[in-house]
């Protein structure tokens, strides 16, 4: 079950945040490019096409807010800027495959880390809440 404009607006409403046109426009642009791991500036550039009045700071603030509400997750793919994706808490974790040649980020939809997590918790005394696994290599097209 994925996010929709309506479901996110409902969440904003429940948490007593205002459902402004800017937030809706930004969210819609993000939803329309859900697979692209957009950065703030990329999203700003998309939004600007139809809504040049919206400021970059508003995009940053909206992304911050959605991340705080755990609707989005802030990610780092080592390209010097933060990128975002939907945080589907119910879904299994997925991993990221980062092409070191073209920079494309794709997802791999199996988790398979349970036994490793259990082992680490047992051996290290660390209480694990979350993880993030990135693979670097060459995508189909680049190798």
Partner DNA sequence: TTTCATGCAAAGGTTTTGCATACGC
Partner DNA sequence: GCGTATGCAAAACCTTTGCATGAAA
Q: How far apart are CA 113 and CA 10, in angstroms?
A: 33
Site stretch for DNA (CB under 7 A), options 21-29, 92-100, 117-125, 128-136: 21-29
Q: How far apart are CA 129 and CA 120, in angstroms?
A: 12
Residue 139: name the closest of 109, 94, 96, 104 by CA.
Answer: 104
CB atoms within 10 A of CB 62: 23
Is residue 27 within the footprint of DNA (CB under 7 A)? no
Site stretch for a second copy (CB under 8 A), options 19-27, 30-38, 56-64, 97-105: 97-105
Strand partners, 97: 106, 135
Matching residue, tokens 């700003």: 44
Identify residues 98-127 at the interface with DNA (CB under 7 A).
none
Q: How far apart are CA 4 and CA 48, in angstroms?
A: 21
Site stretch for a second copy (CB under 8 A), options 27-35, 42-50, 62-70, 109-117: 109-117
Pick from 23, 71, 85, 99 the residue near DNA by CB under 7 A.
23
Smallest distance from a second copy to CB 110, Å: 7
Residues near a second copy (CB under 8 A), total: 35
Pick from 2, 49, 50, 80 the residue near DNA by CB under 7 A.
80
Q: How far apart are CA 122 and CA 99, in angstroms?
A: 33
Matching residue, tokens 């070191």: 100
Pick from 4, 7, 19, 91 the residue near DNA by CB under 7 A.
19
Q: Where do contacts with a second copy occur on this chain (CB under 8 A)?
A: 74, 76, 78, 95, 97, 99-100, 106, 108, 110, 112-113, 116-117, 119-120, 123-140, 143
């Amino acid at each position: 079950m994925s996010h929709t404009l309506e479901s996110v607006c409902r969440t904003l409403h429940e948490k007593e945040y205002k459902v402004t046109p800017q937030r809706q426009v930004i969210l819609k642009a993000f939803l329309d490019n859900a697979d692209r791991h957009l950065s703030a500036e990329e999203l700003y550039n998309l939004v600007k096409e139809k809504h040049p009045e919206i400021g970059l700071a508003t995009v940053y603030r909206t992304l911050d807010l959605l991340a705080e509400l755990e609707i989005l997750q802030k990610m780092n793919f080592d390209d010097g800027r933060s990128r975002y994706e939907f945080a589907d808490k119910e879904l299994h974790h997925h991993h990221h495959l980062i092409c070191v040649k073209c920079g494309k980020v794709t997802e791999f939809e199996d988790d398979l880390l349970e036994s490793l997590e259990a082992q680490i918790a047992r051996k290290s005394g660390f209480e694990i809440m979350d993880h993030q696994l990135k693979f670097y290599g060459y995508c189909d097209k680049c190798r």
